Chains A and B, each alone.
Chain A
Amino acid sequence: MHETEILLAVVVATLRAATPLMIAGFGELIAERSGVLNLGVEGMMLMGASVGFIGTVATGSPILGFVAAMLAGAALALVFGVLTLSLMANQVATGLALTIFGVGFSALVGVGWIGTPLQGIATDIWPGLSKASPMVQQLMLLDPVVWLAILLPFIAQRFIYRTRAGLILRAVGESHDVAHALGYSVLRIRYLAVLFGGAMSGLAGAYLSLAYTPMWSDNMVAGRGWIALALVVFSTWKPLWLAIGSLLFGFVTIAQFQAEALGLDVSPHLLAMLPYLATIVVLVLISRDATRLKLNAPAALGRPFHATA
Chain B
Amino acid sequence: MDARSLTPRLRLSGITKRYAATLANSDISLSIAPGEIHALLGENGAGKSTLVKIIYGVVRPDAGAIAWEGAPVEIADPNAARRLGVGMVFQHFSLFESLTVAENIALGLGASETIAELTVRIEEIARRYGLAVEPTRHVHHLSVGERQRVEIVRCLLQSPRLLIMDEPTSVLTPQEAEGLFDVLRRLSDEGCSVLYISHKLEEIKALCEHATVLRAGRVVGECDPRVSTEQQMAELMIGGALPTAHRAAPLREGRPCLEVARLTLMSDEPFGTHLRDISFTLRDGEILGIAGVAGNGQKELLAALSGERRAPTAEAVRIGGVAAGLLGPAARRRLHQSFIPEERLGRGAVAEFPLRENALLTVYQAGFVRGGLIRFASVARYARDIITRFNVKAAGIDAAGSSLSGGNMQKFIVGREIGTNPRVLLAAHPTWGVDIGAAIAIRQALMDLAAAGSGVLVVSEDLAELFEISDYIAVLSGGRLSAPKRTHETTVEEVGLLMGGKMEAGAGPAVADAA
Contacts and interface: CB of A to CB of B under 8 A. Distances in A.
Interface of A: 164, 167-168, 170-171, 174-175, 177-179, 181-184, 291, 294-296, 299, 309
Contact of A170 (B53, B59, B98): B98
Nearest to B108: A182
A118 B78 CA distance: 55
B108 A294 contact: no
Contact of A178 (B59, B96, B106): B96
Contacts of A178: 94-96
Nearest to B269: A294
B107 interface: yes
Contact of B106 (A167, A181, A296): A167
Contacts of B96: 170-171, 174-175, 178
A183 B98 contact: no
B79 A183 contact: yes
Given A184-B107, A296-B98, 6 more contacts: A168-B107, A170-B99, A171-B99, A175-B96, A177-B94, A181-B94
List 3 tightest A-B contacts by C-beta distance, closest first: A183-B78, A183-B79, A178-B94
A167 B108 CA distance: 11
A39 B95 CA distance: 29
B337 to A, nearest CB: 30
Given A181-B58, A183-B77, A183-B82, A174 B106 contact: no
Determine the interface band of chain B, counting residues with CB < 8 A from chain A.
20 to 34
A183 B77 CA distance: 7
Interface of B: 53, 58-59, 77-79, 82, 90, 94-99, 103, 106-108, 111, 269-270
Contact of A174 (B58, B90, B97): B97
A17 B421 CA distance: 68
A171 B90 CA distance: 17
* Residue among A179, A181, A296 with max Cβ neighbours from chain B (10 Å): A181
A244 to B, nearest CB: 22
A256 B502 CA distance: 62
A54 B299 CA distance: 59
Contacts of B77: 183
Contacts of A296: 98
With most chain B CB atoms within 10 A of its CB, the pick from A164, A168, A175, A183 is A183
Nearest to B106: A167
Contacts of A179: 107
B238 to A, nearest CB: 27
B99 A294 contact: no
B19 to A, nearest CB: 10
B59 A309 contact: yes
Given A167-B107, A294-B270, A181 B97 contact: no
A295 B95 contact: no
A167 B270 contact: no
Given A174-B99, A183-B78, A309 B53 contact: yes
A181 B52 CA distance: 13
Given A170-B98, A174-B98, A294-B270, A182 B58 contact: no
Nearest to A164: B111
Contact of A164 (B94, B99, B106): B106
Contacts of A183: 77-79, 82
Contacts of A170: 96, 98-99
A261 B228 CA distance: 92
A295 B103 CA distance: 17
A150 to B, nearest CB: 28
Nearest to A294: B270
A175 B53 CA distance: 19
Nearest to B272: A291
B270 A171 contact: no
Counting chain A CB atoms within 10 Å of each CB, the highest count among B78, B90, B103, B107 belongs to B107
Contacts of B270: 291, 294-295
A35 to B, nearest CB: 12
Contacts of B103: 167
A181 B103 CA distance: 16
28 contacts: A164-B106, A164-B111, A167-B103, A170-B96, A171-B96, A171-B99, A174-B97, A174-B98, A174-B99, A175-B97, A177-B94, A178-B94, A178-B95, A179-B107, A181-B58, A181-B78, A182-B94, A182-B107, A182-B108, A183-B78, A183-B79, A183-B82, A184-B107, A294-B269, A295-B98, A295-B270, A299-B97, A299-B98
Contacts of B79: 183
Contacts of B107: 167-168, 171, 179, 182, 184
Contacts of A291: 270
Contacts of A177: 94
Nearest to A296: B98
Contacts of A174: 96-99
A183 B97 CA distance: 18
A155 to B, nearest CB: 19
A165 to B, nearest CB: 10
Given A181-B90, A182-B107, A167 B99 contact: yes
B499 to A, nearest CB: 26
Contacts of B78: 181-183
A178 B82 CA distance: 16
A208 B80 CA distance: 48
Contacts of B90: 181
B94 A309 contact: no
Contacts of A295: 98, 270
Nearest to A307: B58
Contacts of A184: 107
A104 to B, nearest CB: 37
Nearest to A175: B96
A275 to B, nearest CB: 32
Nearest to B104: A171
Determine which residue in B53, B77, B98, B99 has the highest number of CB atoms from chain A within 10 A of its CB, and name it. Answer: B98
Nearest to B154: A182
B496 to A, nearest CB: 29
Contact of B58 (A168, A175, A299, A309): A309
Contacts of B97: 174-175, 299
Contacts of A299: 97-98
